[in-house]
Structure 1
Amino acid sequence: MRWQDLDQQPCSLARTLAVVGDRWTLMILRDCFLGIRRFDDFEKRLGITRHVLTDRLKKLVEHGVLTKVPYQQRPLREEYRLTEKGLELHPLILALVSWGDRHMADERGAPLQHIHKGCGKAMTPVTVCSECGDTVTARDIRVQVGAGWQEQGDEVLP
């Protein structure tokens, strides 16, 4: 499987990675969730080249994850804002951050805390079943072929 063909795979993870699966895109999304919106701010915070940043932002806009919104008319200047589709990536970012807090933080602990506005407490994301509300882990889930599966010759399930 070639990287540029991921969006053609009969797998939601592969299709998602085709849009958000490189390190710079994930770092841009992290900054979006931290309130960064302007090109120069992304460039300065990330230390990313203009070419790479332009490419990643363009891709996120093309896929409807970000939208460009004017903040100045003369000259026209635009900022990048998360769309509803983009906001739905928040659980993914939270899960990656939480994993990093547990497995990659140094002895000082997590560099940032995520505070739930509703109760004011530092929170850790959990995955729950949408049907019964029980907490689920990888050991609690069975995978089966769904309606969107198209046989590609590769066996997906053991």
Structure 2
Amino acid sequence: MPKRTVIDTRVCPVAKSADVLGDRWTLLILRELFFGQDRFEELQSRSGASPQMLTDRLRHLIDKQVIVRVAYQERPKRYRYALTGKGKDLFSVLYAMRNWAERWERAEGDPLAIRYTHRACGQDVGLETSCPHCGDKLGFGDLKGTVVVESA
């Protein structure tokens, strides 16, 4: 497999973002963290990543200060992964990617894969970035997702 080309991230913000988020596994791990899956086994089964791939991407996200590892059990030692403020700020990025794919990559007639409900007013938000019912701007923690179509 050819090596990835190194992109100079000193100036370009898109290159800087790609350096942190630039592969499928990282995005799927973040998706699961946004859905509340925070343990290694959950992240592995829901993302489809191999244990080695998941370990590598979790270390990368920790190094980039997107997530932290938090002990939840002492014997045996067990950890969960939590989004930092930096990680929570990625919600709008993944939400925009979801909305783009639902608009442009969903087969005609297929339902939305995930339905989001605005927690504050209980209304379905469709593909909007502001609640069409109450007008609130939508961000991390504002939505409750219901998976309609299971996917990797």
Common fold by TM > 0.5: yes
TM-score (norm 2): 0.76
Unpaired runs of at least 5, structure 1: 128-158
Q: Give the structure 2 partner of residue 105 of structure 1.
A: 106
Q: Give the structure 1 partner of residue 137 of structure 2.
A: none
Q: What CA deviation, in whole Å up to 9, does each residue of 1:111-154 have, x standing for no partner?
A: 11111112222223449xxxxxxxxxxxxxxxxxxxxxxxxxxx
C-alpha contact (below 8 Å) 2:40/2:80 kept by paired residues? yes
Counterparts of 1:68 and 1:52 in 2: how far apart (Å)?
A: 17
Q: What CA deviation, in whole Å up to 9, does each residue of 1:12-63 have, x standing for no partner?
A: 1110110111011001101110111011111112221111111100000111
Shift, 1:3, TM fit: 4.5
Indicate the structure with greater helix content.
1
Q: State which structure, 1 or 2, has the greater radius of gyration over its C-alpha atoms.
A: 1
| CA separation of 1:45 and 1:126: change in aligned 2, threshold 3 A | closer
Q: Residue 79 of structure 2 aligns to which amino acid in structure 1?
A: E
Counterparts of 1:7 and 1:89 in 2: how far apart (Å)?
A: 22
Shift, 1:6, TM fit: 3.2
Percent identical among aligned pairs is: 35
Q: Give the structure 2 partner of residue 90 of structure 1.
A: 91
C-alpha contact (below 8 Å) 1:4/1:18 kept by paired residues? no
Shift, 1:8, TM fit: 2.8
Q: Residue 80 of structure 1 aligns to which amino acid in structure 2?
A: Y
Please give the secondary structure, in 2, of the residue aligned with 1:122.
Answer: coil
Q: Residue 58 of structure 1 aligns to which amino acid in structure 2?
A: R
Please give the secondary structure, in 2, of the residue aligned with 1:78.
Answer: strand
Structure 2 matches for 1:66-81, cutoff 5 A?
A: 66-81=67-82
Please give the secondary structure, in 1, of the residue aligned with 2:116.
Answer: coil
Q: Give the structure 2 partner of residue 117 of structure 1.
A: 119
Counterparts of 2:65 and 2:95 in 1: how far apart (Å)?
A: 20
The aligned length equals 126
Please give the secondary structure, in 2, of the residue aligned with 1:100.
Answer: helix
C-alpha contact (below 8 Å) 2:72/2:80 kept by paired residues? yes
Unpaired runs of at least 5, structure 2: 131-152
| Runs of 4+ deviating beyond 3 Å | 2-7
Q: CA RMSD in A?
A: 1.8
Q: Which moved more, 1:29-38 or 1:114-123?
A: 114-123
Indicate the structure with greater strand content.
2
